Amino acid sequence: MVKYRRILDIKLPIGQSAFLWGPRKTGKSTYIKSKFPNSIYFDFLKTDLYLEFSKKPFLLREILSAKKKEELKRPIILDEVQKVPQIFDEIHWLIENKKINFILCGSSARKLKRNHTNMLGGRAWRYQMHPLVSQEIKNIDLLKVLNQGTIPVHYQQDKVSSARSLQAYVEDYLKEEVFEEGLVRNIPAFSRFFDAMAYSHCEMINYANIARDSSIDAKTVKEYFQILSDTLLATLIEPFKKRQCRQVISKAPKFYLFDTGVSGYLTKRHIEETRGEQFGKAFEHFIFNEIYAYRSYRNKRFEINYWRTKSGLEVDFILGGGKIAIEVKSSDSVDSSEMRPLNAFIDDNAPSKAIIVCNEKYPRIKGNICVLPWRIFLAELWSGKII
């Protein structure tokens, strides 16, 4: 089993608690156990522990009260904490009265918020664990990333094992996770939606079309997309609408699933070469996930949007309120016609940087546009040179 050096770095001042959210199998538990090896650890995936603390949440206070002061100087780890919402009042009390700090791990806070759980009133910082990113993988294999995704165990496996693991992950975890947490009531409807929405991946969401394909109403489709967002399984990005001089689309969001392998499984996609429409969409997805993870891990607050006109000109990612425009092209030789959308955005919005991320071998500059091979772009992104 390969051990990855994760970019996430949880550094807590004395007395500070934290949430660590992220889909299962992204590596939260492995990271926490490695980062805080001597901390007291409760894992609520264990049925006996889950049942006991669900009935008697005060056990946490009693157990920790019996510990030595030295043990309580380290953060107390509670894994899959969303399963035991009753325990949050005890955590709050221990933070306030015993000055104990916690790291609370889980796949999503949606269930907690939905049940009006005590979310500690700002006493815990928020972190998120993403699947592996380019800077965590030595000698990254692009086609492997696009086909198998970057959930650590899936990326390590061979093609056959990874395909089976992705099937199990999607069918037995992703859907069941939503059902188990009680986030939807109509399970057949959500299953139909889950299958239909994947084909709109990396595109503007057409709620009416997905509603028709899923045999549910558009309002419910919007609610289901919000569930995917709240459970960190997908990210919705809104259109950039600072100026309207080219009749810019300003309402329909685009969405990206959290992992390229998961989206590939749902759309029955397998990419054999670095060209073609399927490669292009998956490549765009990969670059988005890198930008999104960079913003999260580096604790940046820039906006991520896209720009599209009613005439069909589109720029994939607009960062920082229009400061940086990024277009992703699958081509290994970007021609002038492929630069039209980016040039149109430059004319209207004058960004400080305009970049095409592509499969070319060498960086170059064409007018106001910097053409960057994807490996160079990612190296500059993670070193803070892009934004």
Residue 349 near residue 242 (C-beta atoms within 8 A):
yes
- Residue 47 has a pLDDT of 94
pLDDT digits (tens, 9 = 90+) for 243-300: 655 578 778 899 999 999 999 999 999 999 999 999 999 999 999 999 999 999 999 9
**Three-class SS state of 100:** coil
Which residues sit opposite 126 in a β-bridge? 19
Residue 262 near residue 166 (C-beta atoms within 8 A):
yes
User: How confident is residue 157, by pLDDT bands cut at 50, 70 and 90?
Assistant: very high
pLDDT digits (tens, 9 = 90+) for 306-362: 999 988 899 999 999 999 999 999 999 999 999 999 999 999 999 999 999 999 999
**CA 281 from centre of chain:** 17
Question: Measuring CA to CA, which residue among 133, 115, 134, 95 is closest to residue 16?
Answer: 95
Question: Higher model confidence: residue 24 or residue 52?
Answer: 52
Question: Measuring CA to CA, which residue among 207, 143, 197 is closest to residue 174?
Answer: 197
CA dihedral 150, 155, 156, 157 (to 10 degrees): 150
- Residue 183 has a pLDDT of 64
pTM: 0.93
Question: Measuring CA to CA, which residue among 182, 146, 133 is closest to residue 280?
Answer: 146
| Average pLDDT over every residue of 58-62 | 96
pLDDT at 209 over 80: yes
Stretch(es) of the chain classified as CATH 3.40.50.300: 17-128
Tokens representing residue 44 in the block: 């609520």
Which fold, 17-128? Rossmann fold (3.40.50)
| Average pLDDT over every residue of 44-57 | 94
Residue 85 near residue 46 (C-beta atoms within 8 A):
no
